[in-house]
Amino acid sequence: MTTLSPEPISIAIIGGGISGLLLAHALLTRSSFITITVYESATQFGEIGAGVGFEPHFVRIMNHISPKIREGFLRCCSNNGPETDPPKWFDVRIGDCTRADAEGVVHHRKDGRKVRLSEPLFVVPARKGERGGVHRAHFLDELVKLLPQDICQFRKRLVDVAEAADGSGDAVLHFADGTTAQHTAVIGCDGIKSRTRELVLGKKAARPVFSGKYAYRGLIPMHKAVEILGEEQPRTSQMYCGHKGHVLTFPIANGTVMNGMICTVVAFSSKDEWKEAEWVVKTSREDMLADYATWTPTVQAIMIHMKDPDIWALYDHLPARTFFQSRPRICLLGDAAHATTPHQGAGAGMCVEDCYILSELLAAVSSADGLEEAFRAYDEVRRPRSLKLVETSREAGMLWEMEGSHGNDMDAYERNACSRMNWIWDHDIDADLERARSLLRE
Ligand SMILES: Cc1cc2nc3c(=O)[nH]c(=O)nc-3n(C[C@H](O)[C@H](O)[C@H](O)COP(=O)(O)OP(=O)(O)OC[C@H]3O[C@@H](n4cnc5c(N)ncnc54)[C@H](O)[C@@H]3O)c2cc1C
């Protein structure tokens, strides 16, 4: 008697950003039963040059996915300068003069000590372990190296997905160039402006929402940052807070660590509406400085020396009612599922968590029918946590910009700032995986 071997599962990953490439590698290393094709709308993999930070919790999950991902991360990681003991996430200072009294005091401590503008107010502690910032393009290069070239197709903008007419339940993908492709399932890793999200949730529910915040992003050569801030500050992460604005500086490696370091600046501001069609626009130095007219000379000097600053409008997603659909099979992952503002620095970290859970579940599936159950288990475990990040990240934006519920109570401000990342960084992802597996078994 001959046994028929099951039909292999073919997965189309839409989008070759951090999520798409991590997932492709995760699936390739876990299952020989699943074939993968990555469809990317751009002509090549690439990222706008900007930094992204990963805390130890997320680096550990990179290692769970595959030690090669962690190694690639460490190769391009700045390690955020010399590690302090205990490690620091950010030194927080007040940089907005309107928050100080006539003597420049921003906080009277209970012990009688006065904290002035630009002086350290408190430190938000980080967790011990490998952590740091990477230039996105460099991290993406490391991920590309892990994939066989023939699984990636470029200039393939997904426009539609229909159910196959052959009764298989497969997805037929339609691309902007007029071509089509048939796969068992589609995983949408196509970012905040996701087409797959529109297909699963409908146009209205999929639409990104302006968060009321925008950010100037640019770089300062390290020697200039040292002139402005002194030897030590630019080599660790700094946050200057004020009313409706906050400014972050942190080091990232310039190409390789051998080429030296540059200091990244992200300066946030607020407005009610974003009227431009584009989300990343050029700005004039005058407009940028006008936003920080009431801030300290140090903050203004940082802004003056930013090279080629862009403005990024910060959008996020409304909570999705589901991350998947059954016919045709589509599942959302990363920013396509839960794009967030960056105020807790964990959006890409959530992509890493998604990839870990989904790839483990898919590796346990042995037929097309099992895919839906894997998507359901992923949805149940991942949706509450990732949507909580979107919500609390907006709150963090209000906190850093002194619009939070603490009012003028700086002790409450500090307590909130120093504890709000615990649920993100101290999470037991393997307990989630165990729960997802048992949902799949059920
Ligand atoms: C200012 C800022 C700072 C941030 N800082 C941090 C940080 O410090 N730490 C952190 O963890 N996170 C951070 N994030 C969040 C992080 O950048 C994102 O969560 C992450 O990059 C999302 O990756 P992704 O692959 O899901 O989506 P994307 O990076 O958006 O990738 C989507 C890919 O899909 C492709 N694509 C889109 N549509 C189609 C289509 N129709 N067909 C085919 N291909 C398509 C795109 O070309 C792109 O390559 C920050 C975000 C911002 C905006």
Q: Tokens representing 417?
A: 């700032």
Rounded average pLDDT over 121-126:
96
| Whether the CB of 15 sits within 6 Å of ligand 1 | yes
Q: Which of 377, 375, 391, 364 is nearest to 432 (CA)?
A: 377
Q: Tokens representing 388?
A: 């909580």
Separation CA 76–CA 134 (nearest Å): 6
How many beta carbons lie within 10 A of that of residue 3, not counting itself? 5
Tell me how far the alpha carbon of residue 214 is from its chain's centroid.
Answer: 16
Nearest-CA residue for ligand 1 atom 29 is 17
Nearest-CA residue for ligand 1 atom 17 is 348
- Please give the pLDDT value at position 254: 56
Nearest-CA residue for ligand 1 atom 3 is 342
Inter-residue contact 18 to 348 (CB < 8 Å): yes
Task: Tabulate helix, strand, coil % of the chain (nearest 5).
Answer: 40, 25, 35
| Whether the CB of 351 sits within 6 Å of ligand 1 | yes
116 is catalytic: no
Q: Which domains does the chain have, with CATH numbers?
A: 9-78+131-208+320-403+423-441 (3.50.50.60), 88-125+209-316 (3.30.9.60)
pLDDT tens, 382-401?
999 999 999 999 999 999 99
Rounded average pLDDT over 67-77:
94
Nearest-CA residue for ligand 1 atom 50 is 342
- Please give the pLDDT value at position 253: 65
Least confident of 45-59, 210-224, 265-279, 357-371: 45-59
- Please give the pLDDT value at position 93: 96
Beta strands in 254-293 (DSSP E): 261-270, 280-282
Using the mean position of ligand 1's atoms as its centre, give its distance from the Cα of residue 15 in Å: 9
Q: Is 270 exposed, middle or buried (0-12, 13-18, 19+ CB in 10 A)?
A: middle
Helix axes 56-65, 18-30, angle to 10 degrees: 40
Separation CA 364–CA 441 (nearest Å): 10
**What percent of the chain shows pLDDT beyond 70?**
94
**The one catalytic residue among 99, 131, 136, 217:** 217
237: CB partners within 8 A, 6+ apart: 80, 88, 89, 90, 91, 248, 249, 250
- Please give the pLDDT value at position 34: 94
Separation CA 315–CA 51 (nearest Å): 18
Q: Using the 8-state DSSP alphabet, how is residue 149 labeled? A: G
**Mean pLDDT of the chain, nearest integer:** 91
Separation CA 432–CA 167 (nearest Å): 34
Amino acid at 38: V
Q: Tokens representing 225?
A: 């940052």
Separation CA 180–CA 37 (nearest Å): 13
pLDDT tens, 312-329?
999 999 999 999 999 999
- Please give the pLDDT value at position 5: 55
pLDDT category at 82 given cuts 50, 70, 90 is low
Q: Is residue 408 scored above 90 in pLDDT?
A: no
pLDDT tens, 147-168?
999 999 999 999 999 999 999 9
Separation CA 290–CA 68 (nearest Å): 45
Rounded average pLDDT over 348-356:
98
Which SS3 state, helix, strand or coil, does residue 357 take?
Answer: helix
| Whether the CB of 312 sits within 6 Å of ligand 1 | yes
Q: Is 195 exposed, middle or buried (0-12, 13-18, 19+ CB in 10 A)?
A: buried
Q: What are phi and psi of 50, to 5 degrees?
A: -155, 160
Between residues 266 and 1, which one has the greater pLDDT? 266
Rounded average pLDDT over 220-240:
87
Inter-residue contact 222 to 263 (CB < 8 Å): yes
Pairing of strands 152-153, 34-39: parallel
- Please give the pLDDT value at position 6: 61
- Please give the pLDDT value at position 79: 64
